[in-house]
């Protein structure tokens, strides 16, 4: 009986239509899920769009001197980032040490104030430190670019107490 219905459906084209309807439903569902996912990702609180992030201009190095810790992630990475310890010294230098599950890194450089931020540029990397107040908590966002590979990193740090 089922074989007869299937053959009849194939002869009249109704089987293909049912398949096309299922394909269209699946395509619509997939597109909808993708759009919702992109919108949710964009709605995340970046400091430029989220009013709870208030820029705190760095007017002197003493505002950020000390030890900071946080996570750093490569831009557009799908794998977790690594833990980093950052030290900013009163002589306008920084030191960092960090590791992921597979690699470790250390570095240092000089910093200078520019437009309310601290910036540094060495032969190996360029860095930019930006200070924010996020819901009463002091947070420093760090952006870094490796000059040799072009890879970009970003991190969110809090001061070690």
Where is pLDDT greater, at 36 or 76? 76
Question: What is the H or E stretch that residue 25 is in?
Answer: helix 14-42
Where is pLDDT greater, at 144 or 39? 144
Strand, helix or coil at 35? helix
109 with 122: CB under 8 angstroms? Answer: yes
pLDDT higher than threshold 70 for residue 69: yes
The answer regarding whether domain 53-159 maps to CATH 3.90.550.10 reads no
Burial 28-40 (b: 16+ CB within 10 A, else e): eeeeeeeeeeeee
pLDDT higher than threshold 70 for residue 13: no
Domain ranges of the chain: 2-42, 53-159
Percent of the chain's residues with pLDDT above 70: 68
Closest CA to 63 of 111, 126, 122: 111
DSSP state letter for 63: G
Q: What phi and psi, each to the nearest 5 degrees, are found at residue 49? A: -110, -20
CB-based contacts of 82: which residues, under 8 Å, 6+ apart? 71, 72, 73, 98, 99, 100, 101, 103
């Amino acid at each position: 009986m089922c074989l007869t219905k299937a053959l009849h459906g194939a002869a009249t084209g109704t089987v293909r239509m049912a398949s096309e309807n299922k394909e269209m439903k699946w395509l619509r569902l997939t597109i909808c899920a993708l759009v919702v996912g992109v919108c949710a990702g964009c709605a995340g609180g970046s400091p430029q769009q989220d009013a709870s992030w208030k820029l705190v201009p760095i007017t002197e190095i003493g505002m950020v001197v000390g030890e900071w810790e946080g996570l750093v992630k490569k831009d557009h990475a799908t794998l977790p980032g690594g833990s980093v310890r950052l030290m900013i010294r009163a002589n306008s230098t920084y030191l960092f040490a960090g590791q992921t599950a597979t690699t470790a890194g250390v570095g240092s450089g000089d910093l200078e104030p520019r437009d309310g931020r601290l910036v540094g540029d060495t032969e190996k990397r360029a860095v930019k430190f930006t200070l924010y107040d996020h819901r009463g908590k002091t947070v420093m966002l760090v952006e870094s670019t490796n000059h040799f590979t072009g890879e970009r990193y970003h991190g969110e740090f809090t001061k070690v107490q």
